[in-house]
């Protein structure tokens, strides 16, 4: 048997495994699936076993689409080498057996940097499935010494971080009861909602889901007693994800966002992260990934968006309906909206 269910008392061990694995990601941890459970979507966690030991893990969200059946989705997962062809085929077969009502399995695994494209035995998804995370990201390798890593950041970025300090910007960690200040900032800024949340309050729930497990920290950049910019870091083991949370006009003048984002990166590094995805939940629209990598001393990384049909009839219905009445697509997006 490839799939071994994970019990609730094993949550810390599960997070530890995901955090150590080279293909791990914070969205494959226990906390994000708990958030989905609070919204009526059934979470399922499994170890992928081989010869009595785990070689990967899978955190699934099962969405009920009525007459079509269940849609299974693994955001930024499964935590498994995409090049293990035999294991992927066994995974599809066991999902059919464990979820007889499921018609398709969508996943977004981290690609091996040595592979020029997603493996041919997995069909690429032609439609995005929420939560929409960027498929191409910029990742900063972290050495464990924030001061040393700061010297690898482009000079323009370093100057802007220092300029923020010169303009009186102070960055501090926000308490769990201070998310209101973050939401107020969000409402004053032009920054749009990230791909895993539709509104500021939705995003606050995402942050809290990670904070309860000690895997998130929000940073507020203040000047003259007002919050001018914000950033959040999610960390699970060696993996971190940092997101800029907007800034007001005064914060833009003071370069407050740069100071907040660097504070989030440095925090993740001091917590043991070895890499940090600074693309966050939404790819930036005002700068290319190449320029973003140069700016922060990072490298570009890729994720796949793949689909595995489990029951052909309902699967074909799902593929056809979005082109007609839009029923399936609307159902999926409504079910996935946090």
159 and 173 assigned to the same domain? yes
62 and 147 assigned to the same domain? no
pLDDT reported for residue 320: 74
Angle between helix 200-211 and 30-37 (nearest 10): 130
93 CB-near residues (< 8 Å, 6+ apart): none
98 and 192 assigned to the same domain? no
146 and 294 assigned to the same domain? yes
146 and 165 assigned to the same domain? yes
44 and 54 assigned to the same domain? yes
Q: How many domains does the chain have?
A: 2
Structure-token pair, residue 216: 């998130």
pLDDT reported for residue 327: 45
Whether residue 161 contacts residue 255, with contact meaning beta carbons closer than 8 Å, is answered with yes
294 and 156 assigned to the same domain? yes
Whether residue 332 contacts residue 71, with contact meaning beta carbons closer than 8 Å, is answered with yes
User: pTM for the whole thing?
Assistant: 0.85
pLDDT reported for residue 127: 52
288 and 317 assigned to the same domain? no
189 and 325 assigned to the same domain? no
3-state secondary structure of 332: helix
pLDDT reported for residue 335: 43
Supply the CATH number for residue 310's domain.
3.40.630.30
Residue 282: give the domain boundaries.
138-301
pLDDT in tens, the chain (338 residues): 689 999 999 999 999 999 999 889 998 999 888 777 766 678 899 999 988 899 999 999 898 888 888 889 898 889 988 777 788 888 989 999 999 999 988 888 887 666 655 555 555 655 545 556 777 888 999 998 998 899 888 888 899 999 999 999 999 998 767 767 777 776 666 555 555 655 666 677 777 778 888 898 989 899 988 888 888 899 999 999 988 877 888 888 899 989 999 999 999 999 999 999 988 776 666 678 888 888 888 888 888 778 888 888 888 877 776 544 344 444 444 444 44
* Distance (Å, whole) CA 235 – CA 237: 6
């Amino acid at each position: 048997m490839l799939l071994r269910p994970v019990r609730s008392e094993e949550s810390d061990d599960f997070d530890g495994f995901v955090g150590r694995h080279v293909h791990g990601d914070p969205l494959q941890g226990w906390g994000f699936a708990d958030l989905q459970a609070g919204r009526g979507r059934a979470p399922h966690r499994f170890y992928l076993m081989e010869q009595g030991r785990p070689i990967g893990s899978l955190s699934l969200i099962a969405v009920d689409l009525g007459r079509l059946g269940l849609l299974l989705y693994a955001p930024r997962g499964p935590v498994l080498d995409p090049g293990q062809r035999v294991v992927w085929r066994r995974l599809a077969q066991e999902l059919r057996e464990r979820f007889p009502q499921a018609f398709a399995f969508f996943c977004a695994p981290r690609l091996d940097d040595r592979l020029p494209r997603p493996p041919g035995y997995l069909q690429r998804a032609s439609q995005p499935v929420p939560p929409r995370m960027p498929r191409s990201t910029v990742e900063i390798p972290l050495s464990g010494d924030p001061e040393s890593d700061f010297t690898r950041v482009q000079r323009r970025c370093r100057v802007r971080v220092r300029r923020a300090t010169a303009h009186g910007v102070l960055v501090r960690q926000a308490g769990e009861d201070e998310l209101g200040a973050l939401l107020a900032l969000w409402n004053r800024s032009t920054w749009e909602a990230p791909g895993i949340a539709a509104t500021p309050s939705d995003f606050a729930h995402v942050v809290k889901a990670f904070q309860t497990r000690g895997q998130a920290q929000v940073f507020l950049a203040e000047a003259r007693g007002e919050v001018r910019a914000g950033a959040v870091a999610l960390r699970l083991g060696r993996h971190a994800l940092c997101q800029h949370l907007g800034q007001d006009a005064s914060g833009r003048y003071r370069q407050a966002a740069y100071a907040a984002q660097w504070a989030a990166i440095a925090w993740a590094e001091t917590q043991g992260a070895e890499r940090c995805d600074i693309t966050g939940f939404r790819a930036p629209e005002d700068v290319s990934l190449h320029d973003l990598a140069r700016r922060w001393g990072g490298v570009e990384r890729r994720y796949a968006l793949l689909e595995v049909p489990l029951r052909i009839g309902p699967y074909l219905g799902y593929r056809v309906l979005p082109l007609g009445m839009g029923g399936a697509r609307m159902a999926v997006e409504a079910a996935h909206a946090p």
